[in-house]
């Protein structure tokens, strides 16, 4: 099985065997992070990172990943280029993607929230790059999906329910209860990260519960995919608007603010309106009292955390929190994805 040249836009596009190949390689790379066998996998190769949005973890982790694999990550933001937009003439995606393919071994793109005029625009742009690029395109987060974040999530949960760091047990996640709960906060976040957590939890055999206030449902097509994944494992998929009882018997709790389905109006992201409406729902926060209702659940989050709104410090800083493990594992899963998709050493 080879992933050389394969795009990663959504984890649902990869088979379970392909995902496990990447995850298991990430574990090996994590165990021997600076071993010489990894240092030349992408020797002299360039990975172009096109950032429409700012980021802490994504930029640093991808740059570190390429460096540790012997390659180079090139950071670019659209104002640095002459790219065509809805309002300005410029270079087309077709031309940009083909030129980048002549220079680099892979292309990463991050686009969501205020960088797009409507839900779906980021994913559509990424699909255009996939169409025209001759090298693998890696989704570094868009409005639909955030695959590398999802892989870091599932690896971290499997480590906690396995034998500790670098010893994940993915089978141990089967029939565990995953709770994704909306939270109030001031960041008005896109759906990509939570979509991926839901898709992977359901594919690895977990029961899935989404708790959210009325009016905060996620993408209905993603709901359909989650339901199909759960059906394959004979597990449960439920939604609720109860911010208290949803915690009962949970094993993994993910508390995060996300935007409403009405966040875009007249091709503009209504961030301030989204924040104002969300901040009124103060009861939607994960606290130690709510965590006591769980089955000694771990707390997970992709970060950055809106502390005091999405979750209390007591929970985020507890020994049941895996937030920093998740952040670290971004590096390791991205190293595995980059190596498998861009290095010929893993060809069958």
The encoded tokens of residue 299 equal 């707390």
Q: How confident is the model at residue 145 (pLDDT cuts 50, 70, 90)?
A: very high
According to the model, what pLDDT value does residue 16 have?
Answer: 98
CB contact at 8 A, 331 and 149? no
Any idea how long the chain is? 348
Contacts of 63 (CB under 8 A, 6+ apart): 49, 73, 75
Q: How confident is the model at residue 184 (pLDDT cuts 50, 70, 90)?
A: very high
Q: Which residue has the higher pLDDT, 174 or 346?
A: 174
Which residues on neighbouring strands pair with residue 240, listed in sequence order?
211
Sign of the CA dihedral with 187 first, then 188, 192, and 197 last: positive
Structural domains in the chain?
11-145+331-346 (3.40.50.1370), 149-327 (3.40.50.1370)
Task: Say how far apart CA 258 and CA 143 lie, in whole Å.
Answer: 11
Three-class secondary structure of residue 110 per DSSP:
strand
According to the model, what pLDDT value does residue 96 have?
Answer: 95
Condensed to tens digits (0 to 9), the pLDDT of residues 300-331 reads 999 999 999 999 999 999 999 999 999 999 99
Return the DSSP state at 69: T
Sign of the CA dihedral with 336 first, then 338, 344, and 348 last: positive
Span of 106-110, 157-161, 164-168, 181-185 with lowest mean pLDDT: 164-168
Condensed to tens digits (0 to 9), the pLDDT of residues 230-276 reads 999 999 999 999 999 999 999 999 999 999 999 999 999 999 999 99
The encoded tokens of residue 74 equal 């090139």
Q: Which residue has the higher pLDDT, 79 or 305?
A: 305
Q: How confident is the model at residue 60 (pLDDT cuts 50, 70, 90)?
A: very high
According to the model, what pLDDT value does residue 93 have?
Answer: 94
CB contact at 8 A, 119 and 263? yes
Confidence (pTM):
0.97
* Percent share of the chain, pLDDT over 70: 100
Q: How confident is the model at residue 348 (pLDDT cuts 50, 70, 90)?
A: low
Condensed to tens digits (0 to 9), the pLDDT of residues 203-239 reads 999 999 999 999 999 999 999 999 999 999 999 999 9
Return the DSSP state at 182: E
Convert 247-257 to b/e letters by CB count within 10 Å (16 or more is b).
beebbbbbbbb
Assess whether pLDDT exceeds 80 at residue 31.
yes
Which residues on neighbouring strands pair with residue 115, listed in sequence order?
none
Assess whether pLDDT exceeds 80 at residue 75.
yes
């Amino acid at each position: 099985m080879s992933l050389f040249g394969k795009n990663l836009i959504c984890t649902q596009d990869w088979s379970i065997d392909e995902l496990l190949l990447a995850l298991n390689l990430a574990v090996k790379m994590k165990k021997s992070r600076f071993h010489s066998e990894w240092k030349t996998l992408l020797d002299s190769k360039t990975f172009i990172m096109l950032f429409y949005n700012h980021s802490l973890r994504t930029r640093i982790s991808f740059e570190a990943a390429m460096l540790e694999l012997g390659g180079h990550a090139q950071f670019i933001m659209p104002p640095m280029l002459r790219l065509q937009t809805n309002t300005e003439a410029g270079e087309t995606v077709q031309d940009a993607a083909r030129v980048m393919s002549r220079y680099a071994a892979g292309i990463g793109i991050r686009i969501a929230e205020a960088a797009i005029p409507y839900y779906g625009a980021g994913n559509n742009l990424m699909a255009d790059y996939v169409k025209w690029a001759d090298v693998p395109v890696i989704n570094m987060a868009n409005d639909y999906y955030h695959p590398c974040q999802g892989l870091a999530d599932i690896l971290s949960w499997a480590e906690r329910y396995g034998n500790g760091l670098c010893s994940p047990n993915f089978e141990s996640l089967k029939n565990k209860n995953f709770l994704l709960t909306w939270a109030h906060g001031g960041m008005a976040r896109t759906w990509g990260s939570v979509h991926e957590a839901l898709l992977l939890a359901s594919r690895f055999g977990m029961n899935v519960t989404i708790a959210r206030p009325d009016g905060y449902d996620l993408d209905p097509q993603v709901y359909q995919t989650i339901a199909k994944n759960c059906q394959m494992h004979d597990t449960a998929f439920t939604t609720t608007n109860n911010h208290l009882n949803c915690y009962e018997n949970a094993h993994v709790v993910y508390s995060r603010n996300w935007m409403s389905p009405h966040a875009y109006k007249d091709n503009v992201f209504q961030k301030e309106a989204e924040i104002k409406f969300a901040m009124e729902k103060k009861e939607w926060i994960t606290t130690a009292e709510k965590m006591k209702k769980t089955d000694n659940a771990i707390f997970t989050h992709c970060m950055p955390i809106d502390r005091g709104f999405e979750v209390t410090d007591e929970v985020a800083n507890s020994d049941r929190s895996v937030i920093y493990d998740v952040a670290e594992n971004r590096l390791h899963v991205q190293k595995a994805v980059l190596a498998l998709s861009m290095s010929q050493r893993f060809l069958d």
